[in-house]
Amino acid sequence: MSPMKRISYILILCLSILFVQAKDFRFALFTDLHITHSTPAVEDLQRAVDQVNATSGIDFVLVSGDITEEGDLASLQKAKSILDKLKVTYYITSGNHETKWSESGCTDFNKVFGSDRFRFEHNGYLFLGFNSGPVMRMADGHVAPQDISWLKQELTKAGTGKPVILVTHYPLQDGDVDNWYEVTDAVRPFHIKVVLGGHYHSNRQLFYDGIPGLLNRSTLRAKADAGGYSIYQVTNDSIVVSEQTIGGEPKRWAGVSLTNTYYTADNSTYKRPDFSVNKNYPQVKMGWSAATGKGIYSSPVVYNNSVYVGDDLGELSCYTLKEGKLKWTFKSNARIVGTSDAGNGVVVFGSADASIYGVDAKSGQLRWKMETPKAVLGAVTIQKGIAYVGGSSGSFYAIDVKTGRLHWEFTGVKGYIETKPLVYGDKVIFGAWDNNLYALEKATGRKVWSWDAGLTRMHFSPAAVWPVAAAGNVYVTAPDRVMSAIDLQSGQTVWRTKQSVVRETIGLSADSKQIYSKTMQDSLVCYATGPEVKQLWACNVGFGYEHAPSMPVEKEGVVFGSTRSGLLFAVEAKSGKLLWKYKVGNSLISTVVPLSKNRCLFTSSDGTVGLLEAGTK
C-alpha cells in the first residue's frame, strides 16, 4: 500500500471511529403524567425532573403524551412550569387526554408548548413526534391525514438512509389506532429504528407491522412508593431502554438491534381492515365521495341542494349534493369540531379560534363574525331565524342568523359545550362537561332547570350526546352507561336504566314513540318513550365494541347508524330487522344525515365526505 493510500485509509478509519462514537447518546422519556392542579402526579413529575437534572449524560427528554388528566389550560401550564425546570431540552407531543377532553379544541396545547409535533436531529438520528388522537370524539386513536402528509414530507426530505425514531402516544396497532396501517405503510420505506410511546402505563415491547415499538411506564407512582421514567442508551449497534424509578437504580428491560432487519417494504403478511361485509349487501353503493386530506369530526349539513362540512384545519367547505363537487371553501383560524347548521341563507358554525361565524350559503363570503372569550366547540341548531350554540367560556348563545346580533347569552355553564342543542317547545336543552344537562327558556335564556343525576365525575357528563324529547320527557345517554328520562318541565328524573350498556348516543323516531341507542357491543336497541322503561327490540348489527358518539337517525321508517370503525348500517325502525351494513373505511363516522330511506350522507375522521346509496337486492 502506498503512503498516500495508507494515510487515506487511516483517515477514513479515524472518521469512521469518530462517527460511531458520535452516535452514542442517552435520553430520558416521560409519558402519562396526568397532571391536574395539585395532586401526587405533580409531585411525581417534579421528582422525575429533579432526578434527570441530577443525572449526568442525559442529552434531552422526550415527553410522549397524556400530559394532563383533563386537557385544561391550567393543568397544561402547570405541567410546563415543571418541565421547564429541566436543564436539558425537552420535546413533547400530546395524548388522548389532551385531544378528547379539551375545552380549547386542543388549541391550548399548541399555545402552551408551541406544537403537538416535533422534529429534531441528534447525533445522526432524526426524531419525529406527532399526535395520535382522537380529537374531541370518543373513538380509537387516529393519526390525521394532514399529520401523515407531514410525516411523509419530513421523511422524504431526510432520505431513506437516515435512521429515524418516531414518538407517539398510542401504540401504532390495530385496536389502538384505527388507521395504524396508513402510518406504517407511509413510514416503512424509510429507515425507522423504533417507535416510542406510552398510553398503557407499563413497559411493553411490540411490533407495528414489523416495525419495533417500545411502550413506557408512566411517571405516576400508582400503587408503588415512587414514580419513574425511562432512560434510553443509543450505541452503534443497539437501542437499550431501562426503567428508572425515583431514587433507585436503572433496570434494563428491552432493547432493539440496530443491525437486524425487522421489516421490509412488503406489507402483504400484515393484518388490514376487512371489507368483505360489503359483498353481503351488493345493493349498497357509494354514490360519490370526496377525499379532503383533512380530518373531519363534524357531521355534514344539507341546505338548498348543497352540503356543508367543517374540518380539522378550520375550513368550512360547500359541495354540491348531487355529485359532491366542491363549490367553495371558507377558512377560520382554528379547527371546526361542532356541526354547523344553515338557515335564512346563512351557514353558522363555531370555531376553536374563539369565534362564531355566519357565512353566506351561496357564495361562502363572510356575513358576520362574533368573537367569544374561548373556543366554540358546540354544534349549532337553527330554529326560526335564531342560531343556538354553546362555547367553552361558560356561555351559551342565541344569535340572529341574518345579522349576527346576540339575542341573549346564558353565562351559568360550568364546563365546555360540544353537543348539538335541542330546541323543543319553549326550551333549549343541552349538556356540558360539568355533569349537567341544562334547560333554558327559549325566549330569554333564563335557566329553567339543570340535571346531574348525582354524577360526581366530569367524565360521566351527558355532554357528547345530542338529547331528544318526546312524551313529556328529555332522553339522554352518558358515559356512565345509563339511559335516562328527565321530566321536561321540572328537570326531575323519571327513570334511569342500565338494561342495555349504552353510551352517548340517542335518536328519536319520526312518530316520537321510540328512542334508539347503540350499545357498546354489537347492537342497536329501541325503547318506548314514556313514563316507564320498556325495551321494544334489539338488533345485533355485529359492529363489535363501540363507543363513538354518533347518533342513530330515523328517516322514512329506517334507522341509520355509524361506528368508530368506518361501518354504516340501516335497521327497520318498526321491527329492528337489519337491512344492510357497509364499511367505507376504518375510522370514526360522525352522525350521518339520511336523505331518504335508502340514501345518506356521511363524514369520516379520515377526511372523507360521501353519499351512500342502498337499492334493492
Per-residue pLDDT tens over the stretch 459-512: 999 999 999 999 999 999 999 999 999 999 999 999 999 999 999 999 999 999
Contact criterion met (CB below 8 Å) for 79 and 49: no
For residue 582, is it left (φ>0), alpha (ψ between -120 and 50) or beta? beta
Asked whether residue 82 is assigned to any structural domain, the reply reads: yes
Q: Any residues with CB less than 8 A from the CB of 520 and at least 6 apart, and which? A: 481, 501, 502, 503, 545, 546, 547
Region 38-55: what's the mean pLDDT? 95
Q: Dihedrals φ, ψ of 305, to 5°?
A: 65, 25
Domain boundary among 196, 231, 257: 257
| pLDDT score for 617 | 62
Which one, of 222, 178, 220, 170, lies nearest residue 195 by Cα? 170
pLDDT at 383: 98
Q: What is the pLDDT of residues 291-311, one digit of tens each?
A: 999 999 999 999 999 999 999
Contact of 539 with 500, CB cutoff 8 Å: no
CA 470 centroid distance within chain: 31
Residues sharing a CB contact under 8 Å with residue 143, sequence separation 6 or more, in sequence order: 130, 131, 132, 133, 168, 177, 179, 182, 183
Rounded to whole angstroms, the Cα distance separating 358 from 147 reads: 29
189 and 64 fall within a common domain: yes
> Residue 604 carries which DSSP code?
B
Same domain, 37 and 138: yes
Measured between alpha carbons, how far is residue 126 from residues 161, 166, 189, 191, 269 in Å?
A: 11, 8, 15, 10, 28
Single-letter amino acid code for the residue at 104: S
CATH of the domain at 77: 3.60.21.10
Instruction: Choose the final residue of a domain: 456, 483, 511.
Output: 456
pLDDT in the model for residue 22: 47
State yes or no: pLDDT of 18 exceeds 80: no
| Tens of pLDDT, residues 182-237 | 999 999 999 999 999 999 999 999 999 999 999 999 999 999 999 999 999 999 99
* DSSP strands (E only) in 417-487: 422-424, 427-431, 437-441, 447-451, 468-470, 473-477, 483-487
Residues 425-442, mean pLDDT to the nearest whole number: 97
Same domain, 253 and 345: no
CB 30 within 8 A of CB 45: yes
**Angle value at C-alpha 316, between 152 and 596, nearest 5 degrees:** 105
Q: Model confidence at 20, in pLDDT bands (50, 70, 90)?
A: very low
Per-residue pLDDT, 615: 84
Provide the pLDDT for residue 456. Answer: 82
pLDDT at residue 210 in the model? 97
Q: Is residue 333 a contact partner of residue 351, using CB atoms and an 8 Å limit?
A: yes
- Establish if 332 belongs to a structural domain: no
Stretch 112-138: mean pLDDT: 96
> CA-to-CA distance for 432 and 427, rounded, in angstroms?
16
Residue 330, domain member (yes or no): no
**And the C-alpha cell for 251?**
433496570
Sign of the CA dihedral with 75 first, then 77, 83, and 89 last? positive
**Are residues 351 and 206 part of one domain?**
no
Percent of the chain with pLDDT over 90: 93
* pLDDT for res 4: 43
Domain containing residue 355: CATH number: 2.40.128.630
Task: Check residue 11 and give its pLDDT.
Answer: 37
Backbone phi, psi, residue 96, to 5°: -65, -25
Q: What φ, ψ does residue 107 adopt, rounded to 5°?
A: -80, -25
> Does residue 12 register a pLDDT over 60?
no
Q: In this structure, are residues 432 and 460 in contact, taking their beta carbons and an 8 Å threshold?
A: no
pLDDT tens digits, 58-114:
999 999 999 999 899 999 999 999 999 999 999 999 999 999 989 999 999 999 999
Whether the Cβ atoms of residue 41 and residue 34 lie closer than 8 Å to each other:
yes
Q: Cβ-count burial of 253 within 10 angstroms (0-12 exposed, 13-18 middle, 19+ buried)? A: middle
Residue 23 has what pLDDT? 73
Indicate whether 75 belongs to any domain: yes
Compute CA distances 166 → 233, 267, 542, whole Å: 16, 19, 35
In a domain, 378, yes or no: yes
Stretch 441-458: mean pLDDT: 94
For residue 29, the enclosing domain spans 25-257
In terms of domains, do 83 and 196 share one? yes
Contact (CB, 8 A) for 155 and 162: no
CA distance 169 to 132: 6
What is the predicted pLDDT for the residue at 244? 98
In the sheet that 192-197 helps form, which strands lie side by side, from edge to edge? 118-122, 125-129, 164-167, 192-197, 211-215, 204-208
The secondary structure of residue 59, as a DSSP letter, is -
Shared-domain flag, residues 392 and 249: no
With CA atoms as reference, report the closest residue to 467 among 529, 414, 522: 529
C-alpha span between 233 and 255 (Å, rounded): 9
Asked whether residue 486 is assigned to any structural domain, the reply reads no
- Considering the domain architecture, whether residues 223 and 349 belong to the same structural domain is answered as no
Q: Please check whether residues 368 and 248 belong to one and the same domain.
A: no
Is residue 575 one of the residues assigned to a domain?
A: no
Asked which of 199, 232, 257 is the last residue of a domain, the reply is 257
195 and 342 assigned to the same domain? no
384 pLDDT band, cuts 50/70/90, is: very high
Q: Render pLDDT for 508-566 as a digit per residue (tens, 0 to 9).
A: 999 999 999 999 999 999 999 999 999 999 999 999 999 999 999 999 999 999 999 99
pLDDT-derived band of residue 455, with 50, 70 and 90 as boundaries? confident
Q: Mean pLDDT score of the chain, rounded to an integer? A: 95
What is the number of structural domains in the chain? 2
Task: Give the integer Cα–Cα distance in Å for 298 and 532.
Answer: 33
Q: Do 252 and 356 reside in the same domain of the chain?
A: no
Q: How sure is the predictor about 14, in pLDDT bands with cuts at 50, 70 and 90?
A: very low
555 within some domain: no
Q: What is the pTM assigned to this prediction? A: 0.93
Co-location of 241 and 345 in the same domain: no
What is the C-alpha R_g of the chain?
A: 26
- Give the count of beta carbons closer than 10 Å to the beta carbon of residue 299: 25
Nearest Cα neighbor of 374 from 390, 357, 358 is: 390
